[in-house]
Amino acid sequence: MFGFDLFGKAVKSVFDGVNSVVQTFTGSKKERDKYSHQEYVNTHKSFSSEFHNRNNKNLWDSFWDGLNRMPRPLFVVLIVAYFILSYINPEEFQVLNIGLSTIPEKMWYVLSAIIGFYFCARELHKIRKNKGMSIDPVEFNKMQEQIYLLRKQKQDEKDLKEFRNDSDDFINNIDNPSIDEWIKKKEETNS
């Protein structure tokens, strides 16, 4: 009995040693889960405080919160309005374009950099989070096959049209009395 007890203690100490070495490199799963849950709770608290904790905010704070949320929708509305203006009132659209053409080119670079950073930061975050925006290879191959079939169909229709035009030209330019007689009979029977 004494041998088994000694053997059991030796095995337990070896496993405890291995476990402590592994935890040194990977950490304890229990601690990771606890930290992950705490991070989740803190994230929700920060988001909910932005929308629900209005006790310390006055009208001025609310105004600035609303103003901070306006640029993206405002850009979209203005761009759509620009295209709608071209349809509704082409003269004013041309006047607007003339006015926009007087802005120096370097100012357009500054504006595009500002808007690019403002809009792209969120999109880049989404791309990094989703590990890119690639499509499934099977779906890509199906799309390529559809494109090939559409192009082939268009080319076949074009070839058939050219063949019909060439054959009509060939038949109409034949100087053979028997064929001319056959064409006349065919036209008479169709009439």
User: Can you give the pLDDT at residue 69?
Assistant: 81
Angle at the Cα of 95 (from 93 to 99), degrees rounded to 5?
A: 115
CB-based contacts of 174: which residues, under 8 Å, 6+ apart? Answer: 180
How far does Cα 59 stand from its chain's mean position? Answer: 38
Rounded Cα gap, residues 134 and 143, in angstroms: 14
User: Can you give the pLDDT at residue 81?
Assistant: 93
DSSP-derived 3-state class of residue 1: coil
pTM of the model: 0.35
Q: Could you tell me the mean pLDDT of each successive run of 10 residues in the chain, 191 residues long?
A: 64 74 70 77 73 71 82 87 90 88 88 81 67 67 84 82 72 71 81 66
Rounded Cα gap, residues 19 and 27, in angstroms: 10
User: Can you give the pLDDT at residue 84?
Assistant: 94
How far does Cα 108 stand from its chain's mean position? Answer: 26
Q: In the structure encoding, which two tokens stand for residue 127, read together?
A: 């791309």
Residue 53 burial by CB count (10 A; 0-12/13-18/19+): exposed, middle or buried? exposed
Residue bearing tokens 């229990």: 30
User: Can you give the pLDDT at residue 80?
Assistant: 93
